[in-house]
Amino acid sequence: MGSNMAENHPVGFRWPMKARERGATIIHVDPRFSRTSAAANLYVPIRSGSDIAFLGGLINYVLSRDLWFHEYVLAYTNASSIINEQYVDAEENGGIFSGYDPKSGSYDNASWAYAGPPQEANEDAAAHSGHGMEGTSPAKHQPARDETLQHPRSVFQILKRHYARYTPEMVEQVCGTPKDLFLQVADVLVKNSGRERTSAICYAVGWTQQSYGAQIIRAAGILQLLLGNMGRPGGGIMALRGHASIQGSTDVPTLFDLLPGYLPHPSVIKGDDTLEKYMRESAVRGGYWSNLPKFMVSLLKAWYGDAATKDNEYGYQWIPKLTGDHSHVTTSAAMADGEVKGFIVFGQNPANGSPNGGLQRKALTQLDWLVAVDLYETETAAFWYAAPEGWKPSDIKTEIFLLPTAGPAEKDGTFTNTQRLLQFHDKAVDPPGDARSDLWLVYHLGRRLKALYRDSTRPQDQGLRHLTWDYLPERTDRRWRIRDEPSAEAVLKEMNGSTVADRKLVADFAALKDDGSTACGVWIYSGVYPDEGKNMARRRVKGDGWVSSEWGFSWPANRRMLYNRASTDPQGKPWSERKKYIWWDPAQGKWTGFDRPDFPETKAPDTPPKADGTGVDLHSGSDPFTLKADGRGWLFAPSGLKDGPLPTHYEPLESPLRNALYPRQDSPVAKRFPRKDNPISPPGDAEYPYIVTTYRVTEQYTSGVMSRWVGWLSELMPEMFAEISPELAAEKGIENMDWIVVSSRRSQIECRALVTQRMRPFRHNGRVIHEIGLPYHWGYKGLVTGAMANDLVPLSEEPNVYIQEDKAFTCNIRKGRLR
């Protein structure tokens, strides 16, 4: 669901195909019959934007028919935990949870917490974005539980009530999915889960690019926990990410709200005035996040070196504090308003790759200067003369630097792939001409800036002055023409971490300290370079067809599967012989198996929780989810999310339909950008009656910079097109390959119509809703050019992870051309 894996991750899809040939069932739930659907055993149509209704239907199916994995759910999830008395479910409140403030459009999630003594960290946890990873937990102590699951405020009972109306009939009404198909999916999933079998769910931006994206993934998480599919081989929820190192750029990260390794970014709003306050409020007593101070201090030591001392809070104040939402979407709006003066773009292409392309390009005209770094001339770099707006260059003030850069085979470095695997790539040749690696560009820019500020005494410049910036290799490599290339391995070592005193690389993050004696750039990567000459990301021991632990390095600590403690029963024995992965070896007194255990290695299954302990000591030997405060998988999220503790069906911000489940139409906390250049259609807007969804095809890549300059790919998908069903085509008098105009409240574009039975109309209570599909790869540079689907997309933000909604919005179409 939410992924077109065969098309967008064809090599990844090699493995589901192998599984299919061994008897596995592939189910593809998608609005379009895609190449993934063609390879699936079962294709299930679903209207774009209704995923939570579908997953909620499955949850309800499992709960109401008592098909959940009892032993697993009782032991490993928070099903038995009791929730706060103040909690009011969306079910009883028209689709809105307790704690909602209509004025600010946000939730105070105190009422979602576990029942029990006042919990000091409740408030702060909400601020941890965690970027879809692990939210830190509010619980100081293990929460109150009712192992019979009968307590009306137990998570289990709340869950049952919340999803009671998500019946197969409701799924059919909301999703347009035929009831019999939905039931078939439910049946396959349930039969394929349990002790002997596991099911996996794969998703991609089909889920995340919705105004409640994180909640869709949460819904899948709930389902997988109920079925006992988490932490087990063949189970899990797979995020299929879209760029070579998008996981790495999330880990490190180049994201505004996080510091390396998912440490929350200090913020004025959260009141992170001092390091001490920041650490107190960010760290949690229970679970692995209790170690946050060690990671934070080590990070500061890595950045500021000897200048980071206990007395100056290890340089904490040199790190800027957030004053709001500085995400890409919000920044684009600010840029369009002239508030951003300088913009540096590394291998990205917002002019046609980001939502509301017209606004994005206008924003570029407002800049004083723009630095674009790429292998090819991008739409972003060329906006001033080539944009469809037809601006006169003489009207555009932006000073532009287009810097040529290197491809991966032209530099050393590491990509982190979608499964958290770090793989080092070796330099094969020098980049051509004046092209330089991004590492070179950033490093030498840093040197120049440090030189410019060398003599400054202003406090604001001291961070830069003290920034450790020493990455040139000791000996230049005579093989290469470019002699001043910084060493990627030196940077990787800094990320791995070392002791401050003797600069010895640390073996993993367990060695990090909060007293300034260790430095570590990215704690989760610690262990990637545990010793001189031992680059684990560069390990290339041929795959063994199973866990292949010796290929690259997987964070954390080379664990290939997170929470794999859940692959055994509470007593530490594999749930079944077929599905064994790690297990407790009483003879050795430790966890062993095919993978590194994602659990304290010698903590026996029967270890009781230490009530007075901290960190994972607060957990028992059978609490597998070590990053959680209570060590349990969260069916109900007492904190960490900004849009509710339980996934709830809302309609997309633009939808032709009314929410059939709740009076509340759409997400109460999704961020809209009500601006003149970003109008949004009201629900049921008759002028824009069709749903449109955007996507990639195999033959092209994102905004096209990496594919539309390659003839071999361009010829395979040369033109922009819209996929429409024969039914809609007939209604509109459109023939295959006709030119059509697709319009939304933001803009209109022209492209070819690809009339295909692979698109279908959806029926909702007898009403026919048409959906059209738009790939978004084209632009105005490259060997092949074409209209830009993103011009039609509204600016908006999902509240947790600030992603726009482009998988479901509304449009109209007509036969013909723009002019």
- Size of the residue set binding other proteins (CB under 8 A): 195
Helix axis angle, 357-365 relative to 379-386, nearest 10°? Answer: 80
Does 343 participate in binding other proteins (rule CB under 8 A)?
yes
Per-residue interface string for the shown chain with other proteins, residues 409-428, x marking contact by CB under 8 A: xxx-xxxxxxx-xxx-xxxx
Return the number of the residue (500 or 753) whose C-beta is nearest other proteins.
753
- The residue from 429, 510, 730, 818 that contacts other proteins (CB under 8 A) is 429
CB of 239 to other proteins, least distance (A): 9
* Residue type at position 368: D
Return the number of the residue (115 or 422) whose C-beta is nearest other proteins.
422
Q: Distance between CA atoms of 87 and 704, rounded to whole angstroms?
A: 48
Return the number of the residue (102 or 459) whose C-beta is nearest other proteins.
459
Q: Segment near other proteins (CB under 8 A), from 219-227, 569-577, 653-661, 711-719? A: 711-719
Q: Distance between CA atoms of 342 and 391, rounded to whole angstroms?
A: 20
Quote the tokens at residue 150.
Answer: 């009968």
Binders of other proteins in range 178-197 (CB under 8 A): 178
- The residue from 371, 505, 641, 670 that contacts other proteins (CB under 8 A) is 371
Query: 762 pairs with which residues across the strands?
Result: 769
CB of 195 to other proteins, least distance (A): 27
Binders of other proteins in range 245-264 (CB under 8 A): 245-256, 259-260
Distances, alpha carbon 105 to alpha carbons 49, 95, 162, 460, 557, in Å: 21, 14, 22, 35, 40
Binders of other proteins in range 732-761 (CB under 8 A): 736-737, 752, 754, 756-758, 760-761
CB of 713 to other proteins, least distance (A): 5
229 with 212: CB under 8 angstroms? Answer: no
Q: What are phi and psi of 651, to 5 degrees?
A: -80, 155
Q: Segment near other proteins (CB under 8 A), from 138-146, 378-386, 595-603, 630-638? A: 378-386
Does 164 participate in binding other proteins (rule CB under 8 A)?
no
Q: Distance between CA atoms of 206 and 183, rounded to whole angstroms?
A: 22
Q: Segment near other proteins (CB under 8 A), from 188-196, 316-324, 595-603, 611-619? A: 316-324
Does 355 participate in binding other proteins (rule CB under 8 A)?
yes
CB of 76 to other proteins, least distance (A): 28
Q: How far is CA 182 from the centre of its chain?
A: 27
Per-residue interface string for the shown chain with other proteins, residues 501-540, x marking contact by CB under 8 A: --------------------xx--x--------------x
Residues 6 or more apart in contact with residue 602 via CB below 8 angstroms: 589, 590, 591
- The residue from 54, 68, 443, 809 that contacts other proteins (CB under 8 A) is 443
- The residue from 160, 243, 513, 815 that contacts other proteins (CB under 8 A) is 243
DSSP 753-809: EEE-TTS--EEETTEEE-EEEEE----SSSSS----GGGGPPPEE-TTT-----SSE
Element housing 102 (H / E):
none
Q: Distance between CA atoms of 592 and 547, rounded to whole angstroms?
A: 14
Helix, strand, coil share (%) of the chain residues, nearest 5: 30, 15, 55
Does 610 participate in binding other proteins (rule CB under 8 A)?
no
CB of 615 to other proteins, least distance (A): 27
Does 434 participate in binding other proteins (rule CB under 8 A)?
yes
Does 323 participate in binding other proteins (rule CB under 8 A)?
yes
- Residue that the structure tokens 């239907």 belong to: 57
Quote the tokens at residue 577.
Answer: 């012989």
Alpha helices in 598-671 (DSSP H): none
Binders of other proteins in range 10-69 (CB under 8 A): 10-14, 17, 21, 33, 35-39, 43
508 with 596: CB under 8 angstroms? Answer: no
Does 482 participate in binding other proteins (rule CB under 8 A)?
no
Q: Distance between CA atoms of 771 and 764, rounded to whole angstroms?
A: 13
Return the number of the residue (469 or 593) whose C-beta is nearest other proteins.
469
Q: Segment near other proteins (CB under 8 A), from 134-142, 169-177, 642-650, 697-705? A: 697-705
Does 345 participate in binding other proteins (rule CB under 8 A)?
yes
Does 144 participate in binding other proteins (rule CB under 8 A)?
no
Q: Segment near other proteins (CB under 8 A), from 56-64, 624-632, 706-714, 808-816? A: 706-714
Does 558 participate in binding other proteins (rule CB under 8 A)?
no
Q: Distance between CA atoms of 323 and 335, rounded to whole angstroms?
A: 16
- Residue that the structure tokens 């001339």 belong to: 377
> Do the strands 27-30 and 42-45 form a parallel or antiparallel pair, or are they unpaired?
parallel
Return the number of the residue (607 or 756) whose C-beta is nearest other proteins.
756
